[in-house]
Amino acid sequence: MPLGLLAAQRSAAGRIASTSLRAAAHPAISTRGFASASNVLRTLPGAASSAHRTSLSLNDKDLKTLAAAQRASSSSAFAKENASDRDTITRLLYSLASRKEVERYLRIFSAANKFAVLKVGGAILTNELDELALSLSFLHRVGLYPIVLHGAGPQLNEILEKEGVVPDYIDGIRITDAKTLRVARQVFLEENQRLVEKLESLGSRARPIPLGTFTASYLDKEKYGLVGKIERVDKEPIESAIRNGCLPILTSMAETEDGQILNVNADVAASELAKVLEPLKIVYLNEKGGLYHGKTGELIENINLDEEYEDLMKQEWVKFGTKLKLREMKELLDHLPRSSSVAIISTDQLQKELFTDSGAGTLLRRGYKLFRHDNIEAAGAERLRSLLRDNDEEIMDGRKSVAQFFSELSKHPYTIYGDEPNDVVAFVSRPQGEVPILTKLVATRNGVLNGVTDNVFSLIKKDHKRLVWTGRADDENRAWHYERADGSFSRNGRSLFYYGISDVGEVERVLRSIEDKGRVERAYLPLHARATTRGFHTSARAQRPSLQSSSSSASSATRGYATAVERSGPLPATNAEPKRVALIGARGYTGQALVSILNQHPHLSLSHVSSRELAGRPLAGYIKSEVLYSNIGVDDLRKLEEGRGDSAPPDAYIMALPNGVCKPFVEAVQQGGKGKHGGHGRIVDLSADYRFEDDWTYGLPELYSRQAIRDSRLISNPGCYATNTQALLAPLLPYLDLQNPPTVFGVSGYSGAGTKTGQTKDGQPVTLPKISAEDLQGGLRPYSLTDHIHEREASRHLSRLGGFESSANADPALKVAFVPTVGPWFQGILSTVSAPLKQKLTAKEVRKLYEDFYAGNELVTLSPTVPEVKDIQLKHGIRLGGWQVHSDGKRVVVVSTIDNLLKGAATQCIQNLNIALGYEELAGIPTN
């Protein structure tokens, strides 16, 4: 398996199988801290909605509302799952992780004989019963049946204390006399029934199994009294419950052969249960949410027992309960398949642990003993050959032979890392005095399922303080790479990752050096590549393109530009929390495009859609949850932002209203947000109303400051023609002859002319184009031949980008001439610029300008030929090409295409929202 595919190791049963790409926490896609089960369930129709994705305690009204919704969606016998209900919750899971991620775990869990044993501490039943019941109900409603075993220690101590009985322990085991056992039996039965009743109030069938599962003998009657040692586990009561659609709820009480009830430690009972059932997951729920390092106080996310156990047990802070817990976990996992794992988490993290690659709390798995060798023979040449031939894509495809790879590897000192069964092997090239490169990492299916790759990478990181490696930029599990990297460069569908190199200048020197020496392909490292690091951007101010180093004819270029507007590359994501968006004015083609993108967005969901004509009707094409159109007026909007509406305020508003209409709606949000900590919800306005206002941020990320967008609560979305025009002209700004301004001829599909409301035969409102293909009769229709608003918009912002003027009211120094036309196709814009220059350039130099300017912007594609509308329709980016220069060298012609409904409106809106809310800029936006 090539390194570009290594993150697939976390697929299949990776995380389930105890492993894996546990830290999928690149800021762009991190799932740390997302919605708990209660929040997800509360978004179901009929349930109280939740604007905040944090764990919370539900009141009685919330629970009754949710229970009613759940019961309404269930059959009286609950023998069969309601398909639509399951689909709804499955879609809600997509807010926790990617669709593929969620579906992968659901598929594997559903196919497992026994998917999970959950041990629940007594304190959880006392303090977090609502959260626990909602989490279990969540799993039940998607067809999963965790076996739940609970304790009741704190409750028992409280009652015993009231009765004057002082709890007594030997070796951590409660001494249990007849009186203590009587109270324990009563407490266990009450707590068991309380959990069952709570689950059934939520519409999930549950079966109490307080006794009958565990048969025990006396542990030591003289020493401990009525305390049992489990001798046998009867699976039938559990399997009977699951066959009948019930969640089995067990206590840690056992019986002797002659019927004497004995007290059993709940952790021990869960362990014995797991040995018999062999589940994929054994989950211990506690209030701490994991194991913590005794000195640093930090959460221990992974423990690979085969590799780390002996050293860990020697640590001075590992003692008493921690040592006992680790010993018990080691003994348990030694009895189970390597696909099983133990997780110690808090209740609100259960869905995160089960359905995301990042997981939660502390994960314990067996792992494997690892090796490192400095030569191929020591690592086993034939075994390596077999592994590479069967699992490495590059060699399997015939692009390189094993012998060729070994020969290239041997040119420099190297180290081979792997595990004893050779399920994962990594090759690190380390020339003297240079940064090491992870040239290849290969994993078998067993290596994938058992999380060996993480172990191997950790060993590499111990040996090398700096490292470079490569991978596919479109890897669906690219989070694995980002989490392990301090930064990355992407180019031509490939990414280069590195850690241990923090200085921007050093990054460039190191990468240029390894490229020049042929240690990585040149495709990875353009001069102005997209470069991001966790926590900061490696190039806060993008360097302006200069031709001085490549062409003598351009040496007279003296003007650097963008002195008035800072332009930066893509920013690192700082957030992965789900957010809610209100779409105000959801009719039209742009509204439909926005709904389509938001329907697939990993973090954003629609909470409100406004349309007077369609009020009360369901929003078509949106399947994350049921959303009805509503007629949201100005007063309604103010109340919604104040929190006085029927639901919590959204995190952001998209104003998709006609020009001249937006102002009162914006002011309503601003008034509603007065006095709020952090201010009102973010606003992205798609109209032209605020594109000339200095207190609004102009949102065209490829040209203007992304940091300004992130810091802003008021963002004006550029016009479609204006976007295309500015994309055409921005790289040319230092060379334009301002005395002879450029002319842009633009042709748009007729969807750009807007919509009107029509009616079907039954009187239902429908959206129709203002101008149709029939109206155009196959021809073109020029309009607004002078003073088009997009002409003024492009002139104003390009002048500021070039540093020509900075005042909103000043006459722009660059005056773009623009002629718009409607064409007989539905969507897509083709614009051609004819731009006089103040100095001579060649076509090659012009092409280089565009390459440097747009390097690292994934939505911008450069074409060697003239782009056409068909190249861009239904795609989310910009396509530029056809660079030609007049024979006198002083007039350039360039062509650009965009989809007016996507990059010209909806896609750009989502880009701006992503940046403003701290997500990865292209989250939810396909880039192919």
Are 146 and 216 in the same domain? Answer: yes
> Residue 410: helix, strand or coil by DSSP?
coil
Whether 574 maps to a domain, the answer reads: no
Distance CA 520, CA 467 (A): 13
Distance CA 670, CA 641 (A): 8
Are 669 and 619 in the same domain? Answer: yes
> Residue 894: helix, strand or coil by DSSP?
strand
Q: Contact at 8 Å (CB) between 353 and 359?
A: yes
Last residue of a domain, one of 365, 392, 414: 365
Are 160 and 199 in the same domain? Answer: yes
895, 885, 896, 814: which is closest to 551 by C-alpha? 885
Whether 621 maps to a domain, the answer reads: yes
Whether 1 maps to a domain, the answer reads: no
Alpha-helical (H) ranges within 220-373 are 221-224, 236-243, 266-277, 305-314, 320-334, 350-355
Max distance between CA atoms of the chain, in angstroms, equals 106
Give the sheet arrangement for strand 781-782, strand by strand.
Answer: 781-782, 817-823, 743-749, 829-836, 891-898, 878-885, 860-863
Are 210 and 241 in the same domain? Answer: yes
Are 605 and 644 in the same domain? Answer: yes
Distance CA 910, CA 925 (A): 8
856, 928, 860, 857: which is closest to 894 by C-alpha? 860
Give the number of C-alpha atoms closer than 13 A to the C-alpha of residue 599, restricted to the C-beta side: 13
Tokens of 612: 């007077």
Q: Contact at 8 Å (CB) between 185 and 261?
A: yes
Distance CA 53, CA 197 (A): 26
Centroid of chain to Cα 731: 33
Tokens of 710: 């992130």
397, 459, 452: which is closest to 428 by C-alpha? 459
Distance CA 734, CA 730 (A): 9
Predicted confidence at residue 17, as pLDDT, reads 33
Centroid of chain to Cα 326: 32
Domain that holds residue 383: 370-534
Last residue of a domain, one of 666, 686, 716: 716
Are 250 and 329 in the same domain? Answer: yes
- The residues, ordered by sequence, that sit 6+ positions from 204 with a Cβ below 8 Å of its Cβ are 70, 78, 136, 137, 140, 141, 247
Last residue of a domain, one of 534, 569, 603: 534
Centroid of chain to Cα 251: 38
Distance CA 139, CA 117 (A): 13
Distance CA 42, CA 50 (A): 6
- Write the CATH number for 480: 3.40.630.30
- The residues, ordered by sequence, that sit 6+ positions from 474 with a Cβ below 8 Å of its Cβ are 493, 927, 928
Predicted confidence at residue 811, as pLDDT, reads 73
Q: Contact at 8 Å (CB) between 300 and 362?
A: yes
671, 688, 627, 473: which is closest to 26 by C-alpha? 473
pTM > 0.85: no
Distance CA 176, CA 168 (A): 8
- Write the CATH number for 638: 3.40.50.720
Are 337 and 478 in the same domain? Answer: no
Question: What DSSP string runs through 779-848?
Answer: S-EE---SS-HHHHHHHHHHHHHTTS---TTSPPSS--EEEEEEESSSS-EEEEEEEEBSS---HHHHHH
Tokens of 482: 């980002």
Predicted confidence at residue 165, as pLDDT, reads 73
- Unique residue bearing structure tokens 């009525």: 226
Distance CA 296, CA 285 (A): 23
Whether 545 maps to a domain, the answer reads: no
Distance CA 490, CA 482 (A): 12
Predicted confidence at residue 102, as pLDDT, reads 67
Predicted confidence at residue 835, as pLDDT, reads 95
Residue 378, Cβ neighbours under 10 Å: how many? 11
Whether 797 maps to a domain, the answer reads: yes
Are 300 and 361 in the same domain? Answer: yes
Predicted confidence at residue 358, as pLDDT, reads 64
Number of domains making up the chain = 4
Q: Contact at 8 Å (CB) between 828 and 723?
A: no
Are 665 and 738 in the same domain? Answer: no
Give the burial string for 427-465 (b: 16+ CB within 10 Å, else e).
bbbbeeebbbbbbbbbbbebbbbbbbbbbbbbbbeeebe
Rounded to 10°, the helix 129-141/178-201 angle is 50
- Unique residue bearing structure tokens 């076509």: 843
Distance CA 777, CA 559 (A): 48
Whether 211 maps to a domain, the answer reads: yes
In the set 246, 662, 720, 909, the catalytic residue is: 720
- Write the CATH number for 831: 3.30.360.10
Q: Contact at 8 Å (CB) between 8 and 22?
A: no
Are 683 and 764 in the same domain? Answer: no
Predicted confidence at residue 735, as pLDDT, reads 92
Whether 495 maps to a domain, the answer reads: yes
Whether 809 maps to a domain, the answer reads: yes
Predicted confidence at residue 293, as pLDDT, reads 85
For the chain, 928 residues long, the average pLDDT of each consecutive 10-residue run is 34 32 27 32 32 31 40 39 55 57 68 83 90 89 90 87 76 85 93 94 93 94 93 94 94 94 92 92 88 84 83 85 83 86 89 74 83 92 91 85 91 92 92 90 74 83 90 66 74 75 69 71 43 32 28 31 52 88 84 91 93 84 89 90 84 90 92 86 93 92 91 94 94 92 91 57 57 71 78 90 64 86 89 93 89 91 88 92 86 94 94 94 86
What's phi and psi for 27, nearest 5 deg? -50, -30
First-last CA distance in the chain: 24
Predicted confidence at residue 590, as pLDDT, reads 87
720 is catalytic: yes
Residue 811, Cβ neighbours under 10 Å: how many? 10
Predicted confidence at residue 541, as pLDDT, reads 25
Distance CA 152, CA 133 (A): 16
Distance CA 701, CA 922 (A): 11
Q: Report angle CA 387, 393, 394 to the nearest 5 degrees.
A: 100
Are 91 and 239 in the same domain? Answer: yes
Cross-strand partners of 225: 176
Distance CA 546, CA 848 (A): 9
Tokens of 525: 């490292």
Are 167 and 307 in the same domain? Answer: yes
Distance CA 322, CA 789 (A): 69
Predicted confidence at residue 527, as pLDDT, reads 37
Give the number of C-alpha atoms closer than 13 A to the C-alpha of residue 679, restricted to the C-beta side: 10
- The residues, ordered by sequence, that sit 6+ positions from 357 with a Cβ below 8 Å of its Cβ are 10, 14, 15, 20, 21, 22, 24, 31, 97, 101, 477, 479, 480
Give the sheet arrangement for strand 253-255, strand by strand.
Answer: 228-233, 214-218, 253-255, 261-263
Task: Please compute Rg for the chain using Cα positions.
Answer: 32
